[in-house]
Each structure stands twice: as C-alpha cells, then as structure tokens.
Amino acid sequence: MLSKKLQDAINEQIAFEISSALIYKAMQAYFEHEDLPGFANWMDVQYQEELFHANRFFTYVCDAGGLAAMLPFEGARNDYESPLEAFRVTLDHEQQVTARIGKLMDLAREQGDHAAQIMLQWFITEQVEEEASAGLIIRKLERVEGDGRGLLMLDQELAQRVYTPPAGA
Ligand code: FEO
C-alpha cells in the first residue's frame, strides 16, 4: 500500500513530468518558428515521452491504491537565443528530473516500499538515456556553431527521431 508521503511525492513528480512535456512542446514551437523542422520533431517526440512518463507515475499511484493528482504548472518558454541554449536548458531540466527520481527512490527505500522501488528503477535507467541524448546534441551543436550547413545537417538527423512507447508499458 502506497504511503501518503510517497503518494504526495509521486504526485509532485507527475506535475514535474507534465511540466517537462509542456517545456518541450514550447521548445517545439520555437524550432518550428526558426524553420528547423527536425529539431521541432525531436522536441515533439520528447513531449510524447514526457506524457508517457507522467502517465506511468499516474497509473502507478492509482494501481497502488493512492489518489493521483494533477498539480498546476506556470507555463513554458517558447523563445530561446539559439538551438544550443534550448538544448542546454533541456539538459539542465533532465538533470533536475534525475535528482528528483533519486530522491523518490531514497524515500521508497526508507519506507521499505519494494513495489515503488521496482517502478522507480525504470525511471533511473531512463534518465541515463535522457541526459545522454541531450548531452550528445549539445556537443554536436557546439561543433557546428556558426555553420549553417552543419545546423541543417543536424536538423535532418533529428528529423529521424520517432516516438516508440516502451515495450510492455
Ligand atoms: Fe521524464 Fe525527461 O524525464
């Protein structure tokens, strides 16, 4: 049975995942406006992944006998100085997510909640990939900075990203 304390902490994480989705959707708007459809596609896939994360936590709270909640969110930026700035914000945001998931795991351990620990393990692994993919794009953007052709090539590469819901989820 999910404790009230862990339920409330997961509910806060649901809000954070929803806010992540909206942050990336607003970044999509920025890239659409900059005529970089590949970057926009990458952000749209990221948006869908974040909704999946939020729903995964939501479903867990319901299944574990808790009361899931949708907490309010203030809004997301849709303007950036450059693609590099947008991806630096992305990485910073993902690092915050990782730290939050770590704290949820600490709480689940403290409470001896084994089911919550198993659920959170998936997110710990997921965050390694989330940080790695944003970090890789930052390094590529740093390399092509000021080179329009390089930016367009990277845009074509990011256009290939496709949303695939995790198997068995
Ligand atoms: Fe749901 Fe990108 O962390």
Tens digits of residue pLDDT in 59-70: 999 999 999 999
Query: Rounded to the nearest whole angstrom, what is the distance from the C-alpha of residue 117 to the centroid of ligand 1?
Result: 17
Q: Classify each residue of 87-99 as buried b or exposed e, where b means 16 or more C-beta atoms within 10 Å of its C-beta.
A: bbebbebbeebbe
Atom of ligand 1 nearest to the CA of 49: 1
Query: Rounded to the nearest whole angstrom, what is the distance from the C-alpha of residue 98 to the centroid of ligand 1?
Result: 8
Tens digits of residue pLDDT in 70-112: 998 888 999 999 999 999 999 999 999 999 999 999 999 999 9
Query: Rounded to the nearest whole angstrom, what is the distance from the C-alpha of residue 50 to the centroid of ligand 1?
Result: 5
Locate all alpha helices (DSSP H) within the chain, ordered by sequence.
4-33, 37-63, 83-110, 114-144, 148-158
Is the CB of residue 119 less than 8 Å from the CB of residue 104?
A: no
pTM beyond 0.85, yes or no? yes
Is the CB of residue 65 less than 8 Å from the CB of residue 114?
A: no
Nearest CA owner, ligand 1 atom 1: 50
Q: Where are the domains of the chain?
A: 1-71+117-161
130 lines ligand 1 (CB under 6 A): yes
Query: Rounded to the nearest whole angstrom, what is the distance from the C-alpha of residue 139 to the centroid of ligand 1?
Result: 20
What kind of architecture, by CATH, is found in domain 1-71+117-161? Up-down Bundle (1.20)
